[in-house]
Chain A
C-alpha cells in the first residue's frame, strides 16, 4: 500500500532563508507527484507537478525534484517570504491497476516565515 510521509511536520524560518521540504513515498510505481499549497480555511492550490519520467520542475522561486527509485521528492523554496506561510502537501498518483487518478497525500508541512 502506498504511503506518503512529509518531514518536518512544521517549520519556522526567518524571512529570506532558503528552505527544503521533504516528501517520501513507499511505492515507486507512480505516474506523477504533485506539490500543493493550502492556506488556512482554503482549498488546495497546485504548485508543481513532476511526471515520473522527470527529475525536476521549476516555477519562480520553487523547485521540486523527484527521485522515483529512492521514493523521495524535495520542494526547494528560495528567498522565503512571509507570504509563503502555508501548509505544503505532497501527493503521488499511483500507477497500478484499478487506480483512476486518485492521489495519495502526505499530512503536510506547516511552514511559517517570520518577517
Chain B
C-alpha cells in the first residue's frame, strides 16, 4: 500500500493564479481531510469529507474548494491564490471519524509546499 500520496511536492504560484492539489489514498478509508501548516504553527483543518460526494468546511475554508467524486481521491482547489495561502498542505485519511468510530488513526501524506508570490 502506498498510503496517502500527494502531488505536487512543491509549487510556486503568482498572485491570482489557480491550482489543484491532488490527494489519493489506497486504504479504502471513508474520511479524508485537508490541513494547512504555517511556519511554527500547528495544523489547521481546511475541509474534510466523510465519503464520496460529501464534504464540509473546517476551521479555515476561505479561498479553497474541494470535491470528492471517488473514495480514493480528494483534490483541493485554490482559486485566485493569495500570499496568505503560502503554507504546507497535508492531506490525511482515516477509516472512521465521528461517534464511536472516532477512535482510529489519521494517516498523513508527505505534504505539498506552496509559495504564492
Contact = CB atoms under 8 A, between A and B. Distances in A.
B94 to A, nearest CB: 6
A101 B94 contact: yes
B105 interface: yes
Contacts of B35: 105
B75 interface: no
B103 A105 contact: no
Contacts of A43: 4, 90, 108-111
Contact of A100 (B97, B103, B113): B97
B42 A106 contact: yes
Interface string A70-81: 000000000000
Contacts of B103: 31-32, 49, 51
A101 B105 contact: no
B31 interface: yes
Given A32-B102, A49-B103, A107-B42, A101 B48 contact: yes
B37 to A, nearest CB: 8
A41 B101 CA distance: 30
**Which one of A45, A91, A100 has the highest number of Cβ atoms from chain B below 10 Å of its Cβ?**
A100
Contacts of B53: none
**Which one of A42, A99, A101 has the highest number of Cβ atoms from chain B below 10 Å of its Cβ?**
A101
B97 A101 contact: yes
A89 interface: yes
- Per DSSP, are chain A's interface residues mostly helix, strand or loop, or mixed? strand
A102 B45 contact: yes
A45 B3 CA distance: 12
B108 A44 contact: yes
Contact of B48 (A36, A89, A91, A102): A102
B50 interface: yes
Given A105-B35, A106-B42, 12 more contacts: A34-B106, A41-B113, A42-B110, A42-B111, A43-B4, A49-B104, A95-B102, A101-B102, A101-B106, A103-B43, A103-B45, A104-B42
18 contacts: A44-B43, A44-B90, A44-B92, A46-B105, A89-B43, A91-B43, A95-B102, A99-B98, A100-B31, A100-B98, A101-B31, A101-B33, A101-B94, A101-B97, A101-B101, A102-B48, A105-B42, A107-B42
